[in-house]
């Protein structure tokens, strides 16, 4: 709101993109901005930034291990090799007959043609160049006994069924979603990722494309995937593939029907202006991404190196506001993330500011959370909490290990103790069980209650917070202890933690 007030002419015409960690967070921002008088802003969770070039929601989250691989810059050579790799069903060589003469192009020749064309064209714009190169190679390989002019030769080759079938299989028009789904095939994954990813990492990524959210599996990862099938980490990979492949061209071979459907009527008037107007051509090298005058990124410590590349395409000439707390980072490789940010910044001027005061968390809660994160990260640069409530965090243990029942009682306590919102922050593996338990409990004032994962809680605050199974949060989150630190710092008044047993590992950091 401040930026639009101070630089309205520039930012209203060029647009402002606000990026946050989750859709839950962006829904909150979407309610706040209009109250500040601003509505001309594009809001995107990080997983849906690429929704301007591909259909996806980006709300699903990979396992911590799979997300770490997908977010790494090591995926760049994997995706480039994927684009260069022909489909598995393509014959190794091209063999056809023209006037009784057998013409053959070997796999080595075809590989060289493919590499040469892709060195100068994106795949979806390179088909014509590839066809010309194949025809040239066939012309050069024809025997002298085949007496044909070049034009007649090309025409006869193009009319053969063998050539048409090979052309369509060898150089298909490929969408980003179809290309990424190919990684679900272990053989394809091995070919394109073998030099870069370990066998275990290959299986982590490949298996994520063989299993859909509804539990259905496919043999190769191919097939139509719905927008909700893609994860937050997939968004950056799809965006990279859109960049590598280029836009999917229109199907010029599709024949228009000579008849109107459903007895419809249609009238057309062709004017002299229509006839004189020059045909409009689409630039095949034009960017398909929307760009902005300013990009604001919150919770930037969680943006992966591949996601920084995705964001850069939308703000190559923009000014940026980047807000983050390294102590809350869920990205395990801080050095790689720093390199990606520095590559994005280049030689542009940078001003850095440190926010040293914590107004959200009461000192009792923040000091408690700080002890946890400092034990794992002694160099964490933490702010100072300036507000006190006099209420210490409460550590609870579930009787007989029944975490759901104990969690419902703790939630009921918080609803009685605070007048505002209550957040139940739960590891992904326990989310469904807690959702069912809370629904069956039919708690009074349940409309004040939010059940979220640690990732979804980022950037949000609640008057009372229940953190469920901290050890599971550490185990299931890419950021480990840092993700637990995020969960522990969400309350503005009261904090309760709940463990299945009193000897929970995370409690050792409390001394």
With beta carbons less than 8 A apart as the criterion, state whether 95 and 127 touch.
Answer: no
pLDDT value at residue 214: 55
- The CATH classification number of 1-52+289-353 equals 3.40.50.300
pLDDT band at 283 (very low <50, low <70, confident <90, very high): low
Judged against a pLDDT cut of 50, whether residue 154 lies above it is answered with yes
Judged against a pLDDT cut of 60, whether residue 382 lies above it is answered with yes
Which class for 128: exposed (0-12), middle (13-18), buried (19 or more C-beta within 10 A)? exposed
With beta carbons less than 8 A apart as the criterion, state whether 49 and 297 touch.
Answer: no
Least confident of 122-126, 218-222, 445-449, 484-488: 218-222
pLDDT band at 267 (very low <50, low <70, confident <90, very high): very low
pLDDT value at residue 247: 87
Per DSSP, helices labelled H in 348-395 are 363-376
Average pLDDT over residues 354-379: 92
pLDDT band at 273 (very low <50, low <70, confident <90, very high): low
pLDDT band at 255 (very low <50, low <70, confident <90, very high): very low
pLDDT value at residue 35: 62
275: helix, strand or coil: helix
Q: What is the pTM of this model?
A: 0.81
Angle between helices 334-345 and 305-312 (to 10 degrees): 20
Average pLDDT over residues 121-144: 93
Element (H, E) at 494: strand 491-499
338: helix, strand or coil: helix
User: Can you read off the two tokens belonging to residue 278?
Assistant: 């020059």
Least confident of 29-38, 144-153, 339-348, 422-431: 29-38
Judged against a pLDDT cut of 60, whether residue 272 lies above it is answered with no
Tell me how far CA of residue 69 lies from CA of 1, 200, 240, 349, 482, in angstroms: 36, 11, 15, 31, 19
pLDDT value at residue 211: 72
Judged against a pLDDT cut of 60, whether residue 328 lies above it is answered with yes
Judged against a pLDDT cut of 60, whether residue 492 lies above it is answered with yes
Q: How far apart are CA 413 and CA 415, in angstroms?
A: 5
Judged against a pLDDT cut of 80, whether residue 250 lies above it is answered with no
Listed in sequence order, the residues at least 6 apart from 234 whose beta carbon sits closer than 8 Å to its beta carbon are: 47, 56, 58, 70, 180
Judged against a pLDDT cut of 70, whether residue 200 lies above it is answered with yes
Lookup result for tokens 């795949």 = 123
Residue spans of the domains in the chain: they are 1-52+289-353, 88-170, 358-509
With beta carbons less than 8 A apart as the criterion, state whether 244 and 79 touch.
Answer: yes
Lookup result for tokens 């946890």 = 372
DSSP string computed for 51-112: GGTS-----B---HHHHHHHTSTTHHHHHHHHHHSPPTTS-SSEEEEETTEEEEE-HHHHHH
Judged against a pLDDT cut of 90, whether residue 11 lies above it is answered with no
Listed in sequence order, the residues at least 6 apart from 119 whose beta carbon sits closer than 8 Å to its beta carbon are: none
The mean predicted confidence, pLDDT, of the chain is 87
Count of Cβ atoms closer than 10 Å to residue 34 Cβ: 10
Average pLDDT over residues 275-284: 52
Q: Can 1-52+289-353 and 358-509 be said to share one CATH topology?
A: yes
pLDDT band at 276 (very low <50, low <70, confident <90, very high): low
Judged against a pLDDT cut of 50, whether residue 256 lies above it is answered with no
pLDDT value at residue 278: 54
Element (H, E) at 2: helix 2-6
pLDDT value at residue 258: 45
CATH architecture under which domain 358-509 falls: 3-Layer(aba) Sandwich (3.40)
pLDDT value at residue 275: 52
Judged against a pLDDT cut of 50, whether residue 420 lies above it is answered with yes
Judged against a pLDDT cut of 60, whether residue 473 lies above it is answered with yes
* pLDDT tens digits for range 39-87: 668 899 999 999 999 999 988 889 889 999 999 999 999 999 999 988 8
138: helix, strand or coil: helix
Judged against a pLDDT cut of 70, whether residue 277 lies above it is answered with no
With beta carbons less than 8 A apart as the criterion, state whether 268 and 260 touch.
Answer: no
Backbone region of residue 246 per phi and psi (left: phi > 0; alpha: psi in -120 to 50; beta: other values): left
362: helix, strand or coil: strand
Judged against a pLDDT cut of 50, whether residue 495 lies above it is answered with yes
pLDDT band at 257 (very low <50, low <70, confident <90, very high): very low
pLDDT band at 259 (very low <50, low <70, confident <90, very high): very low
Average pLDDT over residues 370-393: 92
Average pLDDT over residues 310-324: 92
Average pLDDT over residues 25-36: 76
pLDDT band at 280 (very low <50, low <70, confident <90, very high): very low
Give the percent of the chain with pLDDT over 90.
62
Tell me how far CA of residue 370 lies from CA of 284, 298, 365, 462, 485, in angstroms: 53, 21, 9, 18, 7
pLDDT value at residue 464: 97
Judged against a pLDDT cut of 90, whether residue 327 lies above it is answered with no
Q: Which of 155, 165, 170, 166 is nearest to 99 (CA)?
A: 155
Q: How far apart are CA 25 and CA 296, in angstroms?
A: 14
pLDDT band at 380 (very low <50, low <70, confident <90, very high): confident
Q: How far apart are CA 338 and CA 67, in angstroms?
A: 18
DSSP string computed for 399-456: GGG-HHHHHHHHHHHHHHH-SS-EEEE--GGGHHHHHHHHHHHT-TTGGGEEEE-HHH
């Amino acid at each position: 709101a401040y930026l639009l007030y101070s630089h309205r002419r520039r930012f209203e015409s060029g647009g402002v993109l606000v990026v946050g960690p989750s859709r839950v967070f962006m829904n909150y921002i979407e309610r706040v901005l209009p109250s500040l008088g601003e509505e001309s802003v594009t809001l995107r969770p990080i997983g849906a930034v690429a929704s301007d070039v591909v259909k996806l929601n980006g709300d699903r989250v990979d396992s911590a291990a799979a997300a770490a691989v997908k977010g790494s810059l090591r995926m760049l050579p994997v995706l480039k090799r994927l684009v260069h790799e022909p489909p598995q069903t393509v014959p190794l060589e091209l063999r056809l007959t023209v006037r009784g003469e057998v013409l053959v192009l070997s796999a080595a020749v075809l590989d060289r043609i493919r590499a040469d064309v892709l060195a100068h064209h994106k795949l979806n714009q390179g088909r014509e160049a590839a066809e010309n190169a194949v025809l040239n190679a066939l012309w050069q390989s024809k025997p002298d006994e085949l007496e044909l002019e070049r034009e007649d030769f090309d025409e006869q080759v193009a009319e053969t069924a063998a050539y048409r079938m090979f052309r369509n299989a060898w150089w298909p028009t490929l969408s980003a979603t179809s290309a990424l789904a190919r990684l679900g095939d272990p053989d394809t994954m091995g070919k394109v990722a073998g030099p870069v990813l370990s066998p275990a990492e290959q299986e982590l990524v490949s298996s994520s494309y063989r299993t859909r959210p509804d539990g259905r599996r496919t043999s190769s990862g191919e097939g139509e995937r719905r927008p909700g099938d893609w994860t937050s980490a997939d968004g950056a990979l799809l965006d990279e593939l859109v960049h590598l492949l280029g836009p999917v061209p229109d199907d010029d071979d599709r024949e228009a029907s000579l008849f109107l459907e459903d007895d419809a009527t249609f009238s057309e008037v062709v004017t002299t202006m229509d006839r004189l107007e020059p045909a409009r051509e689409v630039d095949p090298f034009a960017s398909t991404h929307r760009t902005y005058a300013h990009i604001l990124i919150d919770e930037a410590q969680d943006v992966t190196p591949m996601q920084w590349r995705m964001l850069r395409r939308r703000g190559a000439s923009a000014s940026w506001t980047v807000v983050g707390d390294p102590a809350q980072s869920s990205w395990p490789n801080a050095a790689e993330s720093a390199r990606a940010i520095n590559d994005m910044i280049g030689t542009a001027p940078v001003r850095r500011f440190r926010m040293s005061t914590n107004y959200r968390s009461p000192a009792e809660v923040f000091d408690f959370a700080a002890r946890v994160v400092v034990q794992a990260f002694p160099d964490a640069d933490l702010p100072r909490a300036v507000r006190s409530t006099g209420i210490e965090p409460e550590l609870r243990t579930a009787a007989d290990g029944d975490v759901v029942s104990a969690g419902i009682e703790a939630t009921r306590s918080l609803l009685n103790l605070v007048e505002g919102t209550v957040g139940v922050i739960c590891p992904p593996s326990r989310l469904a069980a807690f959702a069912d338990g809370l629904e069956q409990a039919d708690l009074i004032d349940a409309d004040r209650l939010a059940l979220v994962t640690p990732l979804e809680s980022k950037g949000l605050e609640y008057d009372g917070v229940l953190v469920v199974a901290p050890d599971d949060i550490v185990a299931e989150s890419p950021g480990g202890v840092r993700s637990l630190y995020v969960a522990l710092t969400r309350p503005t008044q009261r904090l309760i933690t709940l463990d299945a047993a009193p000897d929970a590992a995370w409690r050792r950091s409390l001394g």
